[in-house]
Amino acid sequence: MPELPEVETIKNQLTRLIVGKKISQVDILLPKIVRLDKNKFKKIVIGAKINKLSRRAKILIIELNNSWSILIHLKMTGQLIYQSTINNKQLAINNQATKNKHTHVIFYFSDGSRLFFNDLRQFGYLKLVQQEELGAFWQKEGLGPEILDKKFTFDRFKEILDRRPRVKIKQFLMDQKNIAGIGNIYADEVLFFASIHPLRQANSLSTQNVKDIFQGIKKILALAIKLKGTSSSDYLDAHGQPGKFATRLKVYGRKGEKCVKCNGLIEKIKIAGRSACFCPSCQR
């Protein structure tokens, strides 16, 4: 599932690839993906130029020059794959850079390049929001602070955590209303970094525990962005390439494998319907 590092990677790549380009055509192959009548969607975006890209939590924002923004949520299996030109020989050998049975929306640019929105499980979506209404939209979503924001300090993190004294720490990290951008992968990795069991309640954590978690958030997400995300399932970057952070995973997806610290076995449990992988010896 694409989380903050994956969406940030795609944002950074597409900023270099599509900003300034004009949308000449849009193919909507699965109308439910677009949270608007497809003809109205096309009318708004065709002919518009892309001003900038940004991100809020796990949502990519494509700002157009006509006062509208396209919000894209990749959810579980969404992909945004860029192709420089229709007949580019170098990309033609990459099957991910061509239309396939999971391609639901295609953006065509006036220079011949294209952007594919693919989604195996079809949980992702595209939504149009007027730029002057974005503030109200985010407020309605109730998203917590951005992890990459300089204002997201240890004191701010501890203040938010102290409001939820009885919440299990794994649930806290994944709740987008607390902090924005962390999902299953990085919650597991952060807690392993901090040597904290995923079932620990917030009020059982010492100040040092909280500092270790905060440090883990900053360090692990920064490295994951540098390595262009984690391709443990369907995620690919905007060039159709897998992220490289999967080789650095210590616990996520490693049930039954040996712990890199103690050689004990990694276990997996369910917390509120979601899984958590951890080392029972290293994480207390």
Give the containing element (helix H, strand E) for 193: helix 184-194
Residue 270: exposed, middle, or buried by beta-carbon count in 10 A (0-12, 13-18, 19+)?
exposed
Give backbone dihedrals phi and psi of 193, rounded to 5 degrees, phi first: -55, -40
Which backbone phi and psi does 3 adopt, to 5 degrees?
-115, -165
| Residues facing residue 180 across a β-bridge | 146
Place of tokens 């396939």: 100
What the block records as the tokens of 164 is 């939820």
Distance CA 260, CA 73 (A): 34
As a whole number of angstroms, the distance between CA 197 and CA 30 comes to 42
Assign 208 to helix, strand or coil. Answer: helix
User: 196 is written with which tokens?
Assistant: 């904290």
Q: Which amino acids are annotated catalytic?
A: 2-3, 58, 274
Give the torsion sign (CA, 141, 146, 150, 155). positive
Cα–Cα dist 103/187, whole Å: 30
Q: Which residues pair with 22 in a beta bridge?
A: 49
Residue 179 · residue 152 · CB < 8 Å: yes
